[in-house]
Structures are given as C-alpha cells and as structure tokens.
Amino acid sequence: MGQPKIRITELYIYPIKSLRPISVPTAQLRREGPRRDRRFMLLKDEGGGRYKNIQTAYFPECTLFQQALDGDDHVVVTYRIPAVPLFPPTPEQRGQLRVPLDPVYDESDVVDIKLFGSETTAFRVRGPYDAWFSSCFGYPVILVFIGDNRRRVLAHSPPAPPRPTRSWLSYVPFTYQWPAQETSSAAAETGDAGLTFNEAAPFLVTSKASLRDVSARLPAGQDMDMIKFRPNIVVDLVPDLSPPTPPSTPPLDGSRGGDSRKEGDDTTTLDAWDEDFWSELVVGGKHRLALTANCARCISINIDYGTGRPGTGESGSILKTLMKDRRVDTGNKWSPIFGRYAFLLPRGGGRREPDEEDEDEDGEDIIADVAVGDEVTVTRRISSRDVWAWPK
C-alpha cells in the first residue's frame, strides 16, 4: 500500500437549491459552480407580489425533498413523509416530480432575487411545478430558474490575472502568482463568472477529518452527516493503492528514490481543521482552486433530516457545541467555521493556453472535470486564518 494522499471522497450538486443534495461520481466544475448546481430555487409566495427565499435554515422541511438525476435531461424530486407528518399527507407527497434541467420559460415572467446580499432576476417555471411543491410544503411555493443570469460575487473573489499585451516583450514567458489573501468586491473587477443560486462562492470544500472531530463531540453511536454542511467537494486522506514507481537510476547518496517531496511538504497530512489554512489546491494534477474565505455556520446544521424539523438532543444543538472552539474567524466572530469557499482558477497562473477541457478560444470559459478519487494537493497555505469582510 502506497503513501496516503488527500483525495476527493465525495462530490455533491444541488440542482434545486436547499433540497437534499445529489452525490455524483464525477462533476464538471465551471467558474460559476458545478454544472447543474443550484440553477433552480424555490420561493414562498407571500401574496401581493412578495416572495421569500426558501433556504434550509428557515425552512427545515426542505430536507424531506430528495433529488436524483435522470440522465442529463431531468432532475426527479420525491418527498419523504416523516413518521410524524408536518400536516396531513397529500397525494403529491407520495408521487414524484420531473423537472427539466433546461426548462422552457417566458423571459418576461420574472422575479427579482436577492440572496446573500447579491441580486439577480430569475424566471418563473410554471407548468405543474408550483402546484406540486405547494402541495408538499403546505403553502404556496413557486419554482424559479436562473437561466443565463448571474449574481455578483460581493466578497473574497480572487483577483483577475493581468492579461499580457502584445509588444516586443511578447516572447518573454508570462507567469502570474495569485495573492493568497487578496480579495475583490465585484465580478466586474475580478473577471469571474458570477454566481448562480450558491450563496457566497461557486464551491464549498470540506474535509472528513474535520467531520470526524465534530462527530467526536456527539454521544457514542452518533455521527454528524456531512450533507448537513452542504459541500460540493469533500476531501480526506486515503491510501494510495497504486504500486510505487521505482527510480530510473538508483540514488547515489543513499536517500530514498522516487520521492520528490521537499522538507516541510505536508500535503499528505490531513488533521482536523487543517483546511482553515489552505489557500490553493490542485485537483487531479492540473485543476486549480483558490480557497479565499471561511464558511460560517448557522442553525441549518441543527436540523433533523429525518423529521424535517429542528433537531433535538445534542445533535440538535451542534451549532452551540461548535461555538465553544470554532469561532475562529474574527470577521464572523459569533459563528463557528466549517469548510472553505473556493473559486476555479485558470491553469498555470496567468498564462492561458487554449485547451478543449479548460477554456474556449477567447479564454473565457474555465472548465474542470473532476471525479471521486482524484488526488488533491495543497499547493499554497496561509500562516493565519482568513478574516471575513464585506467590501466598504
């Protein structure tokens, strides 16, 4: 068995925001987030043209809805009636709903959305969808689709790399190092693609080492479920099952051959909360992620996913438990931290070469195909934790 390595162990997408996630073996990462992730959102219709975002923290019944992909065409939604129903079950709760991933909509049938301080316009998806969700929730609900619209990234986006100009210096190799903690206030300034219905960043990265630390705080026999933290990418330290590659030439100094790690290289160490200090990751040897901010946690992690209600006992107060020692971001001093927000970066610093998997001929679309099992390397660390800050 080879040296343990950090690898992707789980990948999740959320086609309809706030419902249960879909575990997928592969995912296509784009600048705005994983493909098919959070393109739809549910709103409570409060009448008079007023709507309220349906988010897990305030609508724990969202956790009773499960999603599954049917090919690349539909997401299939089912409702799980809890042992103690929230209200008398309806026929719709025993059925399922098929939602086309690329729905037909009227571009004039729009709703203004403000999510995490960032605004956009979404399109209503009518048909049978509003009626089905309304019957399952027990109050009027509408389904909206973001289409090609995007929301501005308001904080902690990595800076845009400078573009080289054509001059007599053009032959000089161009490289650019992304500052570890530099932030920007808007997509227009950073060149990022904006957001769909994800909240503060395109991706959320978490580690199972930290999850085990959380589970250790619960009574014996109870474990914290990672889906309560709603990540996209989960990593862990796992054995490398591939056979070691012998050196082509025996080393003359008596040292181990075939090991290129330098002194102080700790990319094969994964302690709980080590991700607090990760600034950049490389996935699969070529895809780069900038980790720019901590994810502050709220009451959503207290929800009982089996009942669709706030949890009871120690698992129902895990937020308070984590507050004892995980309030480590002075910009979010009342909230415990679990996980890191991330952005997809161009390969190789600022130099952009056309590649069918990475970007188009204009250098605008950055795409990364990743899979469970891909190796993850910590290529840049920070000496102290990031501090959350909104732009002034």
| Distance, C-alpha 232 to centroid of its chain | 4
261, pLDDT greater than 90? no
Over residues 213-227, the mean pLDDT reads: 97
289, pLDDT greater than 60? yes
Phi-psi region of 211 (alpha: psi -120 to 50; beta: other; left: phi over 0): alpha
With contact defined as beta carbons under 8 Å apart, do 263 and 26 qualify? no
Over the chain, what is the mean pLDDT? Answer: 86
pLDDT of residue 360: 42
Tell me the residue type at 367: I
Q: Per the domain annotation, does 112 fall within a domain?
A: yes
Over residues 371-388, the mean pLDDT reads: 97
Which of 3-7, 94-98, 240-244, 365-369 is most confident? 94-98
Q: Per the domain annotation, does 387 fall within a domain?
A: no
Over residues 282-297, the mean pLDDT reads: 97
66, pLDDT greater than 60? yes
pLDDT of residue 264: 41
In the structure, what pLDDT confidence band is assigned to residue 179 with cuts at 50, 70 and 90?
very low
Most distant pair of Cα atoms in the chain: their distance: 80
Q: Per the domain annotation, does 258 fall within a domain?
A: no
Q: Per the domain annotation, does 194 fall within a domain?
A: yes
CATH number, domain at 273? Answer: 2.40.33.20
Tokens of 308: 């669709």
In the structure, what pLDDT confidence band is assigned to residue 222 with cuts at 50, 70 and 90?
very high
Over residues 180-205, the mean pLDDT reads: 67
Q: Per the domain annotation, does 247 fall within a domain?
A: no
In the structure, what pLDDT confidence band is assigned to residue 390 with cuts at 50, 70 and 90?
confident
Over residues 284-289, the mean pLDDT reads: 96
Cα distances (Å, whole numbers) of residue 78 to 18, 136, 144, 242, 325: 14, 10, 18, 40, 38
290, pLDDT greater than 70? yes
Radius of gyration in angstroms for the set of CA atoms belonging to the chain, rounded to a whole number? 22
Dihedral sign computed on CA atoms, order 119, 366, 293, 388:
negative
With a pLDDT cut of 90, the percent of the chain lying above it is: 76
Tokens of 338: 């679990």
Over residues 5-20, the mean pLDDT reads: 98
Flag whether the pTM goes above 0.95. no
Q: Residue 46 sits in which domain range? A: 5-242+265-381
Nearest residue to 35 (alpha-carbon basis) of 24, 20, 51: 24
Distance CA 276, CA 130 (A): 40
Cα distances (Å, whole numbers) of residue 84 to 62, 81, 89, 96, 301: 16, 8, 10, 20, 21
Over residues 278-285, the mean pLDDT reads: 97
Residue in the structure block whose two tokens are 């909240």 = 199
Q: Per the domain annotation, does 363 fall within a domain?
A: yes
Number of separate domains in the chain: 1
Tokens of 346: 């161009």
With a pLDDT cut of 70, the percent of the chain lying above it is: 79
Range with lowest mean pLDDT among 188-197, 240-249, 317-326: 240-249
Distance CA 277, CA 181 (A): 11
The neighbouring-strand residues paired with 170 are none
105, pLDDT greater than 90? yes
Q: Are strands 287-296 and 203-207 parallel, antiparallel or unpaired?
A: unpaired
Distance CA 65, CA 357 (A): 34
Q: Per the domain annotation, does 323 fall within a domain?
A: yes
Q: What 3-state DSSP class applies to 208? A: helix
Residue with more model confidence, 295 or 257: 295
Distance CA 71, CA 50 (A): 35
Over residues 76-92, the mean pLDDT reads: 97
Over residues 304-332, the mean pLDDT reads: 97
pLDDT of residue 250: 46
CB atoms within 10 A of CB 316: 16
With contact defined as beta carbons under 8 Å apart, do 192 and 343 qualify? yes
Over residues 258-264, the mean pLDDT reads: 39
In the structure, what pLDDT confidence band is assigned to residue 172 with cuts at 50, 70 and 90?
very low
Q: Per the domain annotation, does 28 fall within a domain?
A: yes
pLDDT of residue 244: 63
Range with lowest mean pLDDT among 41-55, 125-139, 163-177: 163-177
Which of 167-176, 249-258, 316-325 is most confident? 316-325
Residues ≥6 apart with Cβ < 8 Å to 296: 329, 332, 335, 336, 337, 388
- Residue 87 — φ and ψ, nearest 5°? -160, 165
Distance CA 161, CA 158 (A): 9
pLDDT of residue 182: 36
In the structure, what pLDDT confidence band is assigned to residue 361 with cuts at 50, 70 and 90?
very low
In the structure, what pLDDT confidence band is assigned to residue 339 with cuts at 50, 70 and 90?
very high
